[in-house]
Structure 1
Amino acid sequence: MKDQTRQILIHISAIIGFLSLAFIPFFQGKSNELFNPLAGREFFGYGLLIIIFYFNYCVLVPRLYFSKRYVLYFFAIIFVYLAFRQSGSFIIEQNEFLNRSPHQMVGKSMPPPPPMFESGERPTPPPHEHQPEGDVFIDVNQKIFPFLVVIFFSLILRVSSRWRETEREKMNAELSYLKAQINPHFLFNTLNSIYSLAIMKSDETPTAVVKLSGMMRYVLSEATTDFVSLEKEIVYIKNYIDLQKIRFGESISLDFSINGITNGKQIAPLILISFIENAFKHGINAEEDSVIKIKIDITAEELFLNVFNKKVAVHISEENKSGLGVENTRNRLELLYPKRHKLSIFDTEKDYLVELSIVL
């Protein structure tokens, strides 16, 4: 809504500025009257150009140019120009008629006729006194340049707008596809965790179900938008980590900390969880020394995520080995935070480290 309002204000300002060009002679001191016949004629011409601009922008380009009917579009432009030229000629002729009307001659004496030569012939009048048609033709054709500029400018703007709309639709479709891939991956992991608790008949199973319910509610309601409250995203991450604590208990060394204020900040949903999920997927084995460190620092303008896990021997299916969640998150970062994030991944034989900074 704000973007539409801004576009409307820009168009209104451009129209007012364009129409004001008709009064340039007055501001330059070439005319003593602001509303004079010349200014009125120019004002009418600029008004026609504005109508032609929006006619080409809203009708001809969408219906003919985008439909690849280029020949028909070309002839339509020629027809519009001829109509524009005829309108300009009509206004000029009307102005000349009014200037020559008897109402303007009341109280004024007619200029004396030019003297005759001895042969009885009168001298030929200067060209400008008997060729008003030529003046009309020149005045109208001087408009062909602004006419072409208006046509070209409206065409470029419409094509550019169409391109932006296409890119926006493409990005939204890609983001929806990426989210659709992330959500089943999350559901599989969390349900697998609760299944393990149920097998062990853990007393923490009801708590885990409640936390999973809250997480699923967040994914289905909040995470469907482009941006969510950072506070809710952090709660989602906490619930996920709590589920992992319930599942693995003391078998892992887990260091999780959050520093900073989340109020009033927004972030793309599920943009951090993939790195945290990846740490638990590759860093937990009850028979080995499992170490996971997760740190989130929040400043006034940026968020820093640091995820470290020691690599252990784990059995991972071929589907999960592909690193789909991390790769999708990398793509989402490129789409949602272009030139506003920095992602560094250090993958060695013994450990795995992710360092991410996002300008909120």
Structure 2
Amino acid sequence: MMFKSQRFFKSLQLLIVASLLILPLLISEEGLNSIISTKAVFKYSIFCFIFLSIHFLHRYLLFPKLYARRKTILYFTSLLFILAALIFTRPFDRLMFELRPKPNQVDAPRREPPHSTENRPPMGNERRSGPKIDVLSVFLFLIIITIEVIIETNKQLSLTTQRAISAEAQKTEAELSFLKAQVNPHFLFNTLNNIYTLAIIKDENTAPSIMKLSNIMRYITDEAGNEFVSLRNEVDCIEDFIALHKLRLGKKTTLNYEVKGFLDAEKKIAPLILMAFVENVFKYGISNHSSNKLIIKLAIEDNILNLLCQNSIYPDKKDTERSGIGLTNTKKRLDYIYPNKHILEINDDDKLFTVKLTIHL
């Protein structure tokens, strides 16, 4: 659809320019017969070349490189320079002078009364008595530029609208996938099993664990559908998530979790943006066969949030299908919600999977 629209606008521009170039032949007294001579064809070709050059120069250089990029001073300066060149060269007047009817050379010259030159056409070496500015060349120039600005502006508006519709559709699709995969089912099953075990042995952590799981489910149900949530609530959800995972961590796993900075209740963040990376640490960074270290560090300074997540890479889990929140959807959400306001670096060197995220809140 977008390509069809672009072809339509291009065809419309060329059609309008071609119609304007035929104008001299339409207003000439002899019409198409006026260009039967070689010299007239040459003059007409120069005329067409001048205005076609203006058309393509404006379409492919001036408008996209200057006007569209808000370099208005340079844009209008360029147009004034072209207009001054047209006024100086007078292409339309020169062409019409060549296309005007020529007196019949074989007819006897008519004797005119002295001082009667009102109806006599000007000779080539006589100074013309018309306006000193090539009005029709200026008119054609203004018509071409005005029409092209209107067409190009409409084209840009059409493209912007189509991109917005496409982005909205992608956002809806990403949010749908995101909502479907907000909670990793394995995390839910494992947590319930762990809480069941705690209840069997009557561990004192049973009630707090149930409360933490309830807090996570309430947060996902009530707040995760909002565009932004309190940063404090987001971090609280992460801490409950980490606390529940600690129930199943063995002695071979070391967890380093830190939060630095003041969690201002006024600071807002997109929900579950950070959770995707935290979940990834526990999902792929734990092995029952070797020692492993999990690092989750969060630092808040002014309106800048920094997140560092790091875990070991295990070949048996590297290609496992990801059924949780998903890094792909999270990247899309970051690009959509924080355009030019975030930096995401993901590395898997030295058998370590490292995520560094900076967000300007």
| Alignment-derived partner of residue 217 in structure 1 | 221
Alignment partner, residue 296 of structure 1 = 298
Residues 194 and 184 from structure 1, CA distance in 2 versus in 1: closer, same or farther, beyond 3 angstroms?
farther
> Quick check: 1:288–1:312 contact (8 Å CA) kept in 2?
no
User: Does 2:244 match 1:248?
Assistant: no
Tell me if the contact between 2:341 and 2:359 (Cα under 8 Å) persists in the aligned partners.
no
1:190 and 1:241 map into 2 onto residues whose CA distance is: 11
Q: Please state whether the residue corresponding to 1:319 is helix, strand or coil.
A: coil
Rounded Cα–Cα distance in structure 2 between residues aligned with 1:196 and 1:346: 32
Q: Give secondary structure in 2 for the equivalent of 1:356.
A: strand
Q: Give SS of 1:162's match.
A: helix
| Aligned equivalent of 1:308 | 310
8 Å CA contact retained: 1:253, 1:292: yes
Change (3 A) 1:303 1:248: same
* 8 A contact 1:285–1:314 mirrored in 2: no
Question: Retained in 1: the 8 A contact 2:262–2:301?
Answer: yes
Q: Distance in 2 between matches of 1:300 and 1:72?
A: 53
Does structure 2 conserve the Cα–Cα contact (< 8 Å) formed by 1:228 and 1:267? yes
SS at match of 1:341: strand
**Higher helix content, 1 or 2:** 1
Q: Which of 261, 273, 276 in structure 2 is aligned with 1:274? A: 276
In 2: Cα distance, 1:287 partner to 1:121 partner: 119
CA 1:72/1:344 → structure 2, altered by over 3 Å: closer, same or farther?
Answer: closer
The equivalent residue for 1:343 is: 345
**1:341–1:359 Cα contact (<8 Å) kept:** no
- Which residue of 2 is the match for residue 200 of structure 1? 197
Query: Residue deviations 1:3-60, cap 9 Å, x none?
Result: xxxxxxxxxxxxxxxxxxxxxxxxxxxxxxxxxxxxxxxxxxxxxxxxxxxxxxxxxx
The alignment-based identity, stated in percent, is 22
Change (3 A) 1:269 1:327: same
How far has the Cα of 1:341 moved from its partner? 0.7
CA contact (8 A) 2:216 2:237 kept: no
Residues 357, 126 of structure 1: alpha-carbon distance in 2 compared, 3 angstrom cutoff: same
Q: Distance in 1 between matches of 2:7 and 2:314?
A: 59
| Aligned position for 2:262 | 261
Offset, 1:297:
1.0
1:303–1:358 CA contact under 8 A, matched in 2: yes
Separation in structure 2 between the aligned mates of residue 138 and residue 209 of structure 1, nearest angstrom:
82
Normalised to the residue count of structure 1, the TM-score between the two structures is: 0.54
Give secondary structure in 2 for the equivalent of 1:221. coil
Residues 342 and 208 (structure 1), Cα distance of their counterparts in 2 relative to 1, 3 Å cut = closer
Structure 2 counterparts to residues 23-172 of structure 1, below 5 A: 68=8, 139=135, 142-172=138-168
Structure 1 CA distance for aligned equivalents of residues 157 and 284 of structure 2: 46
Residue by residue, what CA displacement relative to the aligned partner does 1:227-261 show, whole Å, maximum 9, x if unpaired? 5443343233223223323x326755332221123
C-alpha displacement of 1:296 = 0.7
* Residues 1:210 and 1:298: Cα distance change in structure 2 (over 3 Å): same
Q: What TM-score does the superposition give when structure 2 sets the normalisation length?
A: 0.53
**Distance in 2 of aligned mates of 1:345 and 1:75:** 53
Distance 1:220 1:285, change over 3 A: same
1:270–1:162 CA distance, 2 compared to 1 (3 A): farther
Of residues 209-218 and 328-337 in structure 1, the stretch that sits farther from structure 2 once superposed is: 328-337
Q: Which amino acid aligns with 1:254?
A: L
Distance 2:190 2:181 in 1: 13
Give 2:162's aligned amino acid.
Answer: T
C-alpha distance in 1 between matches for 2:347 and 2:318 = 20
Residues 236 and 65 of structure 1: CA distance in aligned 2, closer, same or farther (over 3 Å): same
Which amino acid in structure 2 is aligned with residue 248 of structure 1?
Answer: R
Paired residue for 1:180? 176
- Offset at residue 161 of structure 1 (A): 1.9
Counterparts of 1:261 and 1:162, CA distance in 2: 45
Counterpart Cα distance in 2 of 1:310 and 1:140: 75
Question: Equivalents in 2 of 1:255, 1:69: separation in Å?
Answer: 59
- AA in 2 matched with 1:185: A
- AA matched with 2:285: G
- 1:48 counterpart residue number: none
Structure 1 residue 281 displacement after superposition: 1.0
Structure 1 residue 72 displacement after superposition: 7.8
Determine helix, strand or coil for the equivalent of 2:273.
coil
Q: Name the CA shift for 1:207/1:156 in 2 (closer, same or farther; >3 Å).
A: same
Which SS does the other structure have where 2:321 is aligned? helix
Which contiguous aligned blocks of 4+ residues in structure 1 show a shift greater than 6 angstroms? 64-67, 69-79, 312-317
User: RCO greater where, 1 or 2, for CA within 8 Å and sep 6 or more?
Assistant: 2
Alignment CA distance shift 1:160-1:180 (3 Å): same
Gaps of 5+ in 2: 24-112, 121-129, 200-205
Using the TM superposition, give the Cα deviation of residue 217 of structure 1 relative to its aligned residue in structure 2, in angstroms: 2.2
Checking the alignment, whether the CA contact within 8 Å between 1:193 and 1:243 is kept in structure 2 is no
**Counterpart in 1 of 2:93?**
none
